[in-house]
Amino acid sequence: MKVVVIGSGGREHAICKTLKKSSKVSKIYCMPGNAGTSSIAENIKIDLEDFEKIKDFITSNKLDLVLIGPEKPLVDGIVDYLESYKIKVFGPNKIASQLEGSKTFTKNLCKKYQIPTAKFGIFENSKDTINFLKDCNFPTVIKADGLASGKGVYICNNKEEYTIAVNEIFGGKFGKAEKILVEEFLKGEEMSFFVICDGENYKIFGTAQDHKRVLEGDKGKNTGGMGAYSPSRLESSELNKKILNKIINPTLKGLKELNTTYKGFLYAGLMIINDEPFLIEYNVRMGDPECQTILPKLKTDFLQIILASVNKDLKSIDIEWYEDKCLCIVLCAKGYPEVYKKNEEIKNLNKINLKDNEFIFHAGTLKKNNQILSNGGRVLNFVVRSGDFQFSRNAAIELINKIDWNNGFYRKDIGYKVID
């Protein structure tokens, strides 16, 4: 089978690498990909907003399957578009993708189906928002409605902070803002919970915990994710049951009543408080870097799972996993998530001999004249699977020490809650 993976991050490199293990995969394309994907797939440079060009490439090369990694094309309706040309696509349609694309869509669904979540209010202008905030307790959470790449969420402790948040959001910092969300602050422990769906049935696809803040001790600005580990230390069969019954099932029921279904990965960002799950947000894809810690633990043929989802046949397969732990450290360009340099050479990468349980997934990298250059904020993911989180973390740091690049930085404390 000829498969194309859409995206260019560490998640997409991990997806390509896992697909490559399947004997049924004859060729992988990655659109647009990175330096890492170029060694196992053919990178295709096409603007991801140009659905027609993407479709033309797929049909003229007679590709059998498309996997969509990131949220933007999903929220923009790429699945509906490609399916209208009878192309097989793994990912949710435009209506279902509002679970990530519109926080107010998800909050209203939570309200209608009594899905546990933070109490909230939705406002359409700064005056009403500020009026409401005057009587709120601190901390309080303020969010832009649309996609904001992990940014656009403010935890505010006083009037000054909420005034900045409201002004920045309505001022268009995260794109045109028609609505703002004010939420109760939930105090608990976060967990990323994944399922894979085929429109009728679903299966659990692992748990993980990411570290979103840029500095050690979970301090500083929010980022796309500085590292992750899987499984989450909170996972238990009892908690899984509660998450499915109170959150996933009513969500899928709600979509059904909107005359649609969910196909693809669904990622529930949860806050666990006293063993009870609360939904913070949905994402309509795998997490990045969570994906890089979950796929290395998969035993079952990944292509077979994806095909079962696309063919509404998930019921028929058992997904098997290694019992191991997996931990990922993200190496970033100094300055991320603010201003950072690009186009710096990263030396020694190709000299590292990886063991079977070690992985380097590229994110913001580019290959030019046989050199690997940095090309983004999050640059490389160092992942180790083993029986022990501490071992994995030490081994990942050893790998980082082998490369020659002065302008990177990383968090040495990834997984501290399960290690220290």
Q: Strand pairing partners for 155?
A: 141
145 binds, among ligand GLY, ligand AMP, none (CB under 5 to 8 A by kind): none
Q: Which stretch binds ligand GLY (CB under 6 A): 30-38, 133-141, 214-222, 283-291?
A: 283-291
290 binds, among ligand GLY, ligand AMP, none (CB under 5 to 8 A by kind): ligand GLY
Which 1-40 residues touch ligand AMP, going by CB under 6 A?
Answer: none
- Residues near ligand GLY (CB under 6 A), total: 7
Q: Are 81 and 250 in contact (CB under 8 A)?
A: no
SS3 205: strand
Which 151-210 residues touch ligand GLY, going by CB under 6 A?
Answer: 210
Which 347-406 residues touch ligand AMP, going by CB under 6 A?
Answer: none
Q: Which of 269, 287, 289, 415 forms a contact with ligand AMP (CB under 6 A)? A: 269
Q: Is 182 in the site for ligand AMP (CB under 6 A)?
A: no
SS3 298: strand
Closest distance between ligand AMP and the C-beta of residue 141, in Å? Answer: 4
Closest distance between ligand AMP and the C-beta of residue 278, in Å? Answer: 8
280 binds, among ligand GLY, ligand AMP, none (CB under 5 to 8 A by kind): ligand AMP
168 binds, among ligand GLY, ligand AMP, none (CB under 5 to 8 A by kind): none
Give whole-number Cα distances, 1 to 4, 19, 20, 57, 86, in Å: 10, 11, 11, 16, 16
Q: Which stretch binds ligand AMP (CB under 6 A): 15-23, 180-188, 299-307, 358-366?
A: 180-188
Residue at token pair 């302008």:
407
Q: Is 142 in the site for ligand AMP (CB under 6 A)?
A: no
Q: Which two tokens stand for residue 66?
A: 């498309």
CB environment 218-250: b (16+ within 10 A), e (fewer): eeeebbbbbbbbbbbebbeeebeeebbebbbeb
Closest distance between ligand AMP and the C-beta of residue 212, in Å? Answer: 5
Closest distance between ligand AMP and the C-beta of residue 150, in Å? Answer: 6
Residues whose CB is less than 8 angstroms from the CB of residue 52 and which lie 6 or more positions away in sequence, other chains included:
none
Q: Is 150 in the site for ligand GLY (CB under 6 A)?
A: yes
CA distance 301 to 306: 9
Helices (H), 230-343: 237-243, 249-257, 290-294, 302-310
Q: Are 231 and 278 in contact (CB under 8 A)?
A: no
Q: Strand pairing partners for 196?
A: 203, 265
Considering the complex, state which of residue 63 and residue 118 has its C-beta at the smaller distance from ligand AMP. 118
Q: Which of 6, 15, 180, 186 forms a contact with ligand AMP (CB under 6 A)? A: 186
Q: Which stretch binds ligand GLY (CB under 6 A): 154-162, 163-171, 284-292, 315-323?
A: 284-292
Which 122-141 residues touch ligand AMP, going by CB under 6 A?
Answer: 141
Q: What is the DSSP string of 207-221?
A: EEEE--EEETTTEEE
